[in-house]
Amino acid sequence: MRIAVLDHEPDQLQLISQAISGLGHECHSYTEGRALLQALRRQTFDLLILDWNPPDIHGIELVKTARNELRSRAPILFVTTTRDETDVVEGLNAGADDFMVAPARATELEARVNALLRRSYPAQHEAELVCGPYHFYPPARVLKVNGAPVELKNREYALALFLFQNLGRLLSREHLHEAVWGVGTAALSRTLDTHISRLRTKLGLGPASGFLLLAIYGLGYRLEMIAPNTHPESLTR
What is the model's pLDDT at position 237?
45
Q: In angstroms, what CA-CA distances link 134 with 8, 88, 145, 160?
A: 45, 42, 5, 10
Query: Any idea what the Cα angle at residue 107 is, between residues 16 and 1, rounded to 5°?
Result: 55
Q: Which domains does the chain have, with CATH numbers?
A: 2-120 (3.40.50.2300), 124-235 (1.10.10.10)
With a pLDDT cut of 90, the percent of the chain lying above it is 75
Q: What average pLDDT does this structure show over 58-75?
A: 93
pTM above 0.95, yes or no: no
3-state secondary structure of 233: helix
**pLDDT(88) > 80:** yes
Q: Shortest CA distance to 221 belongs to which of 164, 145, 143, 146?
A: 164
pLDDT at residue 183, as a whole number: 66
- Dump pLDDT digits (tens) for 7-24: 999 999 999 999 999 999
Which of 12-21, 101-110, 178-187 has the least mean pLDDT?
Answer: 178-187
pLDDT at residue 76, rounded to an integer: 97
- Which residues does 143 contact at the CB level (< 8 Å), separation at least 6? 134, 135, 136, 137, 149, 150, 152, 157, 160, 161
